[in-house]
Copies of this chain bind each other. A is one copy, B any other.
Amino acid sequence: MKFLVLCVLAYCLTFSIVEAKVRHYKWEVKYELKSPDCYKKLAITINGRTPGPSIVAQQGDTIVVELKNSLLTENVAIHWHGIRQIGTPWMDGTEGVTQCPILPGDTFVYKFVVDRPGTYLYHAHYGMQREAGLYGSIRVLLPDGESEPFAYDYDRSIILTDWYHKSTYEQAVGLSSIPFVWVGEPESILIQGRGKFDCSKAGIIPEMCNATSPDCSPYTMTVVPGKTYRLRIGSLTALSALSFEIEGHNMTVVEADGHYVEPFVVKNLFIYSGETYSVLIKTNQSSTRNYWITAKIVGRNNTTPSGLAVLNYYPNHPKRIPPTPPPVGPQWDDLAPRLSQSLAIKSHRNFIHPPPQTSDRVIVMLNTQNNISGYRRWSVNNVSFNLPHTPYLIAYKHNLLHTFDQRPPPDDYASTEDIFSVAENANATTSNAAYRLQFNTTVDIILQNANTMTKNNSETHPWHLHGHDFWVLGYGRGKFDKINDPNKYNLVDPIMKNTVVVHPFGWTALRFRADNPGVWAFHCHIESHFYMGMGVVFEEGVDRVGKLPRSIMGCGDAKGYHRP
């Protein structure tokens, strides 16, 4: 009998190690008054926190998030950024694409498998709610017994964001007003949800800003000297491109968007909204002091102070201010090191997923700023995107094709366009049409940047693809040359990513396999740019998508699909 019990116990133990787990989370989303940068503002929290709770799981685990919407009058949806949702395209959390919004009072159950190890994110994907604080990190560990191609003693995650004092409502109203009101530069940069706004600034009501609030004491990462730390860094800025730096410590880049990188060393890491990186740092500096961690805005001329956190060498006091000034970081307008970092990121030599050597379809996407009926917009090939009222996935699957424009959006732009000047005709059209990709084909996307509506200005756009990783085949300056540039593609060891930057006046080429049945958004990860139309949608193999759960229904023509 004793033997039997032992056997069962042993079996259970083995089983629990070997078998994938189901990880349950119960989250309540609501508004709370927070002071992440010392300035009081309503934030959207999960279980009272922003950033929300971290999801930590093992490859193959099933994540179940019971999400209760406790906002008063506002709906919600959460996207699992970097998780491909293979077989569960309805769980991607993209309002208007893969699901209807979750109503106040409703509980929506997200359930999906994290099928690859790596560093991922989650965040609201409805209106501009992400920047109200609804985000967090996902860390997927290797199965027991497997190990990374690099060694480290400790594993830490931080998320970088920028923070505005205006509400998302005010921002959205300004963006869709005539005259156009731009959101402007953020008031502060948050490192793991903490920043420091200068409360002594003119016009700040003292009761609104408390420099000593515990909410805005700088994020402190305590380290033991002589160890190696894996630091997982994600950016979910609303607007800003950042340079991340740890005073006196080089960083070895080892992971990007869930893929192992052939290691390279940087003094500062450029990171764009929607990207994640793992870097290794060695705590091999003088242990008699603390060091600054900084996040500085690059790519835009601005006066936003850099985000500051503290690398706290044990046993120094965590609140002990580093004795030296924080590193000043790179010049905001020096593009060269950013381009050079982009080019440096290649697949780890032992983990190369060889890309298909040819593609079946090439879509060139010109990124432009436009005027449409007096409104300021962003467009792809002069088509500015807007979400339909019935989510695409439901519309395709249930044959509600009248709910959005069926004329295909353009695969290229007019050859007469001059990407180096302000467009003579900045007009564009709006559409909610989708790109339909043939299932299991290989698709190339060339993201072509251009001059904005301001002379000698071109912006930085991080593009994020849902449902896939893509190979990054190349970056270039100027206008993409369809004949010669493809010859320079890296078809040997390109990194796979889900978010990639398009540099000012440059192009970025990427390739992916349309092998994940569903409908997937592909858009600039800058919150206001997507809101202003900078995105597209891909449909692929939607006929292979299983029965849609009723819980994603309830809006537009998908009303009433909840019950039989």
| Residues of chain A at the chain B interface (Cβ within 8 Å) | 31-33, 42, 72-76, 100-101, 103-106, 126-129, 167-170, 172-174, 177, 203, 205, 389, 550, 553-556, 559-564
**CB atoms of A389 and B105 under 8 A apart:** yes
**CB atoms of A33 and B173 under 8 A apart:** yes
**CB atoms of A560 and B550 under 8 A apart:** yes
Q: Which residues of B contact A172 (CB under 8 A)?
A: 31, 72
Query: Which of B76, B126, B170 is the one whose CB lies under 8 Å from A42?
Result: B170
Query: Which of B32, B72, B562 is the one whose CB lies under 8 Å from A560?
Result: B562
**CB atoms of B174 and A106 under 8 A apart:** no
Assuming the A-B contacts A31-B173, A173-B31, are A72 and B127 also in contact, with contact meaning beta carbons closer than 8 angstroms in the complex?
yes
- What's the least CB distance linking A266 to chain B, in Å? 38
Bound: A127/B104 CA distance, A: 10
Chain B residue with minimal CB distance to A33? B173
Main secondary structure of the interface of A (DSSP, over half): loop
**CB atoms of B73 and A101 under 8 A apart:** yes
**CB atoms of B173 and A32 under 8 A apart:** yes
27 interchain pairs (CB within 8 A)?
A: A31-B172, A32-B173, A32-B177, A33-B177, A42-B169, A42-B170, A42-B173, A72-B169, A73-B75, A73-B126, A73-B129, A75-B104, A100-B103, A103-B554, A103-B555, A105-B389, A105-B556, A167-B167, A203-B205, A553-B560, A554-B554, A554-B555, A554-B559, A559-B563, A560-B560, A560-B561, A560-B564
Q: Which residues of B contact A555 (CB under 8 A)?
A: 103, 105-106, 554
- What's the least CB distance linking A74 to chain B, in Å? 5
Q: Which residues of B contact A556 (CB under 8 A)?
A: 105-106
Q: Which residues of B contact A128 (CB under 8 A)?
A: 72
Bound: A203/B203 CA distance, A: 6
Q: Which residues of B contact A173 (CB under 8 A)?
A: 31-33, 42
Q: In this complex, which of A73, A105, A167 has the most chain B Cβ atoms within 10 angstroms of its Cβ?
A: A73
Bound: A205/B129 CA distance, A: 26
- What's the least CB distance linking A48 to chain B, in Å? 11
**CB atoms of B101 and A101 under 8 A apart:** no
**CB atoms of A389 and B74 under 8 A apart:** no
Bound: A561/B559 CA distance, A: 8
Chain B residue with minimal CB distance to A531? B72
**CB atoms of A170 and B563 under 8 A apart:** no
Chain B residue with minimal CB distance to A389? B105
Q: Which residues of B contact A550 (CB under 8 A)?
A: 559-560
Q: Which residues of B contact A33 (CB under 8 A)?
A: 170, 173-174, 177
Q: Which residues of B contact A389 (CB under 8 A)?
A: 105-106
Bound: A100/B560 CA distance, A: 13
Q: Which residues of B contact A561 (CB under 8 A)?
A: 560, 563
- What's the least CB distance linking A46 to chain B, in Å? 15
Q: Which residues of B contact A564 (CB under 8 A)?
A: 560
- What's the least CB distance linking A164 to chain B, in Å? 14
Bound: A106/B550 CA distance, A: 19
Chain B residue with minimal CB distance to A559? B562
Q: Which residues of B contact A76 (CB under 8 A)?
A: 73
